[in-house]
């Protein structure tokens, strides 16, 4: 038996097929992951993401601490509500985790991956020694994501007036509190939507309200196909501690300026940058029938080989797509080995669907 969110019983009552995810018992789907995927792109759906780790950082040197800890620079967050996506690196420049950090009135709020929770917290606490900072895991909070073109409108109908007003005002990638809820216009699907952090004592009732109003519950199966279509990385598959952010399509998240900001992993990363990173993370599209899957070998004629890191069937495109780590010189064609045979694939930038529209 894995760890359970406060919504475990409700998932079962809704007909969820449960699976283990990073040590948590989570819903894979509630009937059809393909249908759930379509529902999010067409209207909206709600995900239980309470297995993720919410951490509040406060204190006099909270900013300095995070400027050392994270590869992106929190000093770019000038007003409460602003957020950024960052890697947290080790000394070798490998990725410990990827996360979103929000500037709040009290300091900063970070949301970390479920599977890396213990590792991340131990690392974060170890780095506090030289700083006047407090790092507090918020086990009293749950998280729901409501994603899709109709998400904000549907949720606004079901919450207090003050929260509805906030939802209407939120700009993309902004997160603000209202009472003891924290509402952010962020997500992991490539659609508009919200991620709501609320007390564990209120999440069952709120999910009941959402589902009762006809909003479909969505499982992890669809979550994976949605994020893959959006070109978003999954920690543990597309990158891990052995992988540089430069080889994981995360170079844009590194804040090199100011040059004097000595974040953990910077020296190693500078060496890599100077030498040129030998690999890159790209998108692959299989034009014929078949499914690309993690660990399949990618061959690039005259250049070398790589490997698929994440692959699946794209319900929105009705073909198979993948993310793959390949030699830096790879152009726009390659071949993938599927069950002993080689199939041609198109190489594209990661990101296949955004706001319901095909990018490729």
Partner 1 sequence: MSNIPADLRYAASHEWARLEADGSVTVGISDHAQEALGDVVFIELPEVGKQLNAGQEAGVVESVKAASDIYAPVGGEVIAINEALADSPESVNSDPYGSWFFKLKPSAVSELDKLLDAAAYQAAADADA
Number of residues that bind partner 1 (CB under 8 A): 13
Minimum Å gap between C-beta 27 and partner 1 is: 13
Residue nearer to partner 1 on the CB measure, 161 or 318: 318
Contact 226, 327 (CB under 8 A): no
Closer residue to partner 1, CB minimum distance, 277 or 317:
317
Chain positions 323 to 342 lying near partner 1, rule: CB under 8 A, are 339
Contact mark string toward partner 1, 212..251, x via CB under 8 A: ---------x---x--------------------------
Minimum distance from residue 308 beta carbon to partner 1 (Å): 14
Least distance in angstroms from the C-beta of 290 to partner 1 = 7
What mask of x and - would describe binding to partner 1 in positions 66 to 105, judged by CB under 8 A?
A: ----------------------------------------
The span of 28-36, 42-50, 163-171, 246-254 binding partner 1 (CB under 8 A) equals 28-36
The phi, psi pair for 220, rounded to 5°, reads -70, -25
> What is the total residue count of the chain?
360
- Shortest Å distance, C-beta 146 to partner 1: 23
Question: Is residue 47 a contact residue for partner 1 (CB under 8 A)?
Answer: no
- Distance of alpha carbon 61 from the chain centroid: 27
* Shortest Å, Cβ 54 to partner 1: 30
Report the alpha-carbon distance of residue 152 to residue 303 in Å, rounded. 47
Quickly list DSSP for 126-140. HTTTTS--EEEE-TT
Task: Of 171, 195, 192, 168, give the one whose Cα is nearest residue 181.
Answer: 195
Mark residues 286-325: x for contact with partner 1 by CB under 8 A, - for none.
Answer: ---xxx--------------------xx------------
Q: Which range touches partner 1 (CB under 8 A), out of 32-40, 138-146, 199-207, 247-255?
A: 32-40
**Binding test (CB under 8 A) with partner 1, winner from 5, 16, 25, 29:** 29
CB nearer to partner 1: pick between 279 and 296: 296
Choose, by CB under 8 A, the member of 2, 14, 21, 32 that binds partner 1: 32
- The separation between the first and the last C-alpha atoms of the chain, rounded to the nearest angstrom, is 41
Please spell the DSSP secondary structure of 13-38, one letter per residue.
HTTPEEEEETTEEEEEESS-HHHHHH
45-48/141-147 β-pairing: antiparallel
Shortest spacing between CB 131 and partner 1, in angstroms = 45
Classify each residue of 9-19 as buried b or exposed e, where b means 16 or more C-beta atoms within 10 Å of its C-beta. Answer: ebbeebebebe
The single residue among 14, 34, 317, 359 that binds partner 1, judged by CB under 8 A, is 34
CB nearer partner 1, residue 84 or residue 322: 322
From the list 26-34, 138-146, 201-209, 210-218, the region that binds partner 1 by CB under 8 A is 26-34
CA 71, distance to chain mean position in Å, is 16
**How many helices and strands (H and E) does the chain possess?**
9, 21
Shortest spacing between CB 320 and partner 1, in angstroms = 8
- 318's CB contacts (< 8 A; 6+ apart) are none
Tell me, what DSSP letter sits at residue 352?
A: -
Strands, E assignment, 235-303: 279-286, 297-300
Label residue 229 exposed, middle or buried (CB < 10 Å: 0-12, 13-18, 19+): buried
Write out the H or E segment, with its range, that includes residue 95: strand 95-103
Q: CB nearer to partner 1: give 141 or 228.
A: 228
Residues of this chain that bind partner 1 (CB under 8 A):
28-29, 32-34, 221, 225, 289-291, 312-313, 339
């Amino acid at each position: 038996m894995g760890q359970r969110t406060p919504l475990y019983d409700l998932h079962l009552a809704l007909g969820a097929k449960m699976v283990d995810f990073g040590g948590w018992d989570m819903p894979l789907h509630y009937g059809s992951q393909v249908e759930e995927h379509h529902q999010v792109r067409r209207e909206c759906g709600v995900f239980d993401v309470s297995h993720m780790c919410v951490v509040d950082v406060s204190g006099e040197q909270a900013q300095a601490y995070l400027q050392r800890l994270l590869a992106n620079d929190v000093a770019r967050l000038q007003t409460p509500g602003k957020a950024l996506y960052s890697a947290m690196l080790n000394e070798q420049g490998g990725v410990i985790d990827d996360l979103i950090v929000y500037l709040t009135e009290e300091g900063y709020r970070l949301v970390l991956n479920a599977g890396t929770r213990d590792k991340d917290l131990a690392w974060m606490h170890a780095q506090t020694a030289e700083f006047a900072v407090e790092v507090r895991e918020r086990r009293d909070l749950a998280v729901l994501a409501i994603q899709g073109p109709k998400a904000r409108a549907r949720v606004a109908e079901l919450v207090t007036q003050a929260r509805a007003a906030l939802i209407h005002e939120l700009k993309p990638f902004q997160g603000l509190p209202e009472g003891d809820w924290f509402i952010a216009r962020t997500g992991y699907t490539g659609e508009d939507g919200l991620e709501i952090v609320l007390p564990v004592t209120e999440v069952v009732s709120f999910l009941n309200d959402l589902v009762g109003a006809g909003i479909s519950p969505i499982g992890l199966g669809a979550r994976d196909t949605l994020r893959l279509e959006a070109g978003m990385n999954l920690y543990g598959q597309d990158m891990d501690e052995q992988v540089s952010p430069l080889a994981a399509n995360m170079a844009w998240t590194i804040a090199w300026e100011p040059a004097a900001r000595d974040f953990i992993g910077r020296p190693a990363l500078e060496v890599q940058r100077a030498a040129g990173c030998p690999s890159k993370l790209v998108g692959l599209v299989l034009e014929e029938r078949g499914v690309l899957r993690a660990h399949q070998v990618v061959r690039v004629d005259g250049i070398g080989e790589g490997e698929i890191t994440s692959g699946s069937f794209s319900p929105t495109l009705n073909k198979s797509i993948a993310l793959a780590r390949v030699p830096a010189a790879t152009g726009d064609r390659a071949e993938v080995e599927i069950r002993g045979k080689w199939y041609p694939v198109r190489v594209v930038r990661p990101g296949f669907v955004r706001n319901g529209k095909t990018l490729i």
